[in-house]
A and B are shown apart, each in its own frame.
Chain A
């Protein structure tokens, strides 16, 4: 159903009829879902369900074959990756994606939303505002003692935090996290949940996660993907008791 004019409700992110096929294989097939302001949405599903591909499509890493992704009335499918970031969408990758050869400070500084053009970067000044914000974020991601160490020397969990910190400093309206606690120890996991609970304030978050305990802790709403399509959607309680979900994903 297509509505012309103003839709009854304004969503932050509206994905409609999204389809992408790789050599005929439809990794995401006619997918539609909507994310509200300040909502935390978790996407779960078995391997190969197309979860990461959905994030790739939203952030512009993969181009869609059909369908639309509207974010604050902007059509993201027609924008470049950096334009999508400037529109307010931030993405954390599954494996920590940080700059090993730069210090923690420099990693965070690069994500500071200023001086993103060539000229801007050439004349960028590390002023008090930048230093304060970096210190603030470093404190939040438990890395304030490591600011001047090269990121290569951080542990896996710390690298994940650093990437979350890089997104935090970027201050996106929609934050997309791909398995933020994968590969973390139990204590790191608890700290990460705590960290995520503080940073998700005043923004919408789209999370892919397998850790059901973690999902239960944070999700407002859960979308279950299976073979590129939505299998079930709703509250954790509803999804958990959906027989289709139990069969393909959660197990008996």
Chain B
């Protein structure tokens, strides 16, 4: 497959347009408030999946710790919302009014210094981007400069996810512990618990995701995207062509981390809480599976893969909760063995050729044997 050198060619534009229509028109029209909110939750995971396409699919850097970045964004937003919900009059029954309830239960009498910046919304938004970028930079520099890669990198990131969970649960006075940060109410005075707020937040989330998708496509189609592919293939050749491979690896790891953090922040806003259950090893691996199912080389595939797996998860665990993990494991094995390019690969190999042929059918070309075959197939099929 040849990839277009320019950013957003016609095919991309149509595909993104189609996704936009599905997210902005079809889902809100077809789904009730409860289901739409579920979709919003799924879409927050898609931010992580899109980042993984760049980092893992193109760059070959498998991170099993994206939950940590999701948490950095999610907790950042949750801390802001929690502080707003913990005004002095809201918490006057506490022994120390004006601090989050879980701190009061843990005999903490003063707001910790690292919570202070989260009083301000602009600062919170800035930190949601900066902290994961900085964290990615520190981890990335430590690993990539030392040429740690492949499975070793994956294991270390997985360990990070485990450490983050232990830290959050252990420091319950500062983090809300295993319950996470709950009972979130308003965003800068705007009640996020109402149906109308959830409806609006769904659109904010969807549009933000489309922006991230567009940005990811820009990166993919830039020379940097091609260098990522080149690095995955022949790291040394890239190095001996005058590039600092580590810098590119750090960049894409940070970028994927920032995408995940934005997703995390949107999760908190749409779902109304943040907890360690979204941080650890299992959710981090689930996010990799979403990407794999969608097709790890396809940015749009990652979004569809996330939606498909989560729809399946919800419907399966509503009826057979104990079967879900088995189903997820089976799905991952199937992706690896049977369709390594995921949904995007299936689309490209089985669906796209039919569409191309159907299009060719309309533009007259009777000498093309493929078009004739398609014509016969079209005549035989009642759907056409």
CB–CB B251/A98 < 8 A: no
- Known interface pairs A101-B229, A109-B223; A80-B241 also in contact (CB < 8 Å): no
- Known interface pairs A80-B244, A118-B224; A102-B219 also in contact (CB < 8 Å): no
Contacts of B219 in A (CB 8 A): 122
Q: Which of B5, B227, B247 has the most CB of A within 10 A?
A: B227
CB–CB B222/A166 < 8 A: no
What bracket does the count of chain A residues touching chain B fall in? Answer: 35 or more
Contacts of B236 in A (CB 8 A): 61, 93, 97
In-complex Cβ contact of A109 among B224, B226, B237, B245 (8 A): B226
CA distance A99 to B228 in the complex (A): 11
A74-116 with Cβ < 8 A to chain B:
80-82, 85-86, 90-91, 93, 97-103, 106-107, 109-111, 113, 115-116
Contacts of B350 in A (CB 8 A): none
Contacts of B238 in A (CB 8 A): 110
B230 interface residue (CB < 8 Å to A): yes
CB–CB A100/B244 < 8 A: no
Contacts of B251 in A (CB 8 A): 118
CB–CB A101/B243 < 8 A: no
What 1/0 mask marks residues of chain B from 209 to 223 whose CB sits below 8 Å from any chain A CB?
000000000010011
In-complex Cβ contact of A91 among B224, B233, B240 (8 A): B240
CB–CB B230/A102 < 8 A: yes
Contacts of B11 in A (CB 8 A): none
- Known interface pairs A122-B219, A122-B222; A81-B239 also in contact (CB < 8 Å): yes
A121 interface residue (CB < 8 Å to B): yes
Q: Which of A111, A126, A148 has the most CB of B within 10 A?
A: A111
CB–CB A86/B224 < 8 A: no
> What is the distance, in angstroms, from B212's C-beta to the closest C-beta of chain A?
16
- Known interface pairs A121-B222, A121-B227, A124-B222; A85-B233 also in contact (CB < 8 Å): no
For B240, the closest partner residue in chain A by CB is A91
B234 interface residue (CB < 8 Å to A): yes
> What is the distance, in angstroms, from B345's C-beta to the closest C-beta of chain A?
15
What 1/0 mask marks residues of chain B from 1 to 28 whose CB sits below 8 Å from any chain A CB?
0100100000000000000000000000
CB–CB A123/B222 < 8 A: yes
Q: Which of A109, A118, A163 has the most CB of B within 10 A?
A: A118
> What is the distance, in angstroms, from A141's C-beta to the closest C-beta of chain B?
16
CB–CB A170/B229 < 8 A: no
CA distance A60 to B242 in the complex (A): 12
CB–CB A110/B244 < 8 A: no
CA distance A118 to B233 in the complex (A): 18
A187 interface residue (CB < 8 Å to B): no
CB–CB B227/A97 < 8 A: no
Contacts of B244 in A (CB 8 A): 80, 82, 117
For B247, the closest partner residue in chain A by CB is A118
What bracket does the count of chain B residues touching chain A fall in? Answer: 20 to 34
- Known interface pairs A117-B247, A121-B248; A110-B226 also in contact (CB < 8 Å): yes
- Known interface pairs A85-B242, A86-B242; A99-B229 also in contact (CB < 8 Å): yes
CB–CB A121/B224 < 8 A: yes
Contacts of B227 in A (CB 8 A): 110, 121
Contacts of A150 in B (CB 8 A): 2
CB–CB A170/B222 < 8 A: no
Contacts of A69 in B (CB 8 A): none
CA distance A101 to B5 in the complex (A): 14
For B218, the closest partner residue in chain A by CB is A122
Contacts of B223 in A (CB 8 A): 109-110, 115, 121-122, 124, 126
CB–CB B240/A118 < 8 A: no
> What is the distance, in angstroms, from B9's C-beta to the closest C-beta of chain A?
14
- Known interface pairs A101-B229, A121-B222, A148-B2; A110-B241 also in contact (CB < 8 Å): yes
Contacts of B241 in A (CB 8 A): 85, 110-111, 166, 170
For B232, the closest partner residue in chain A by CB is A101
Contacts of A113 in B (CB 8 A): 242
Contacts of A126 in B (CB 8 A): 5, 223
CB–CB B230/A82 < 8 A: no
CA distance A86 to B243 in the complex (A): 9
> What is the distance, in angstroms, from A52's C-beta to the closest C-beta of chain B?
13
CA distance A86 to B226 in the complex (A): 20
A59 interface residue (CB < 8 Å to B): yes
Going nearest first, the 4 A-B pairs with the smallest beta carbon separation are: A85-B242, A124-B223, A121-B224, A99-B230
What are 10 A-B pairs at a CB distance below 8 A? A82-B243, A97-B236, A101-B232, A110-B227, A117-B244, A118-B251, A121-B222, A121-B227, A122-B224, A123-B222
Residues of A near any B CB (own CB < 8 A)? 59, 61, 80-82, 85-86, 90-91, 93, 97-103, 106-107, 109-111, 113, 115-118, 121-124, 126, 148, 150, 163, 166, 170
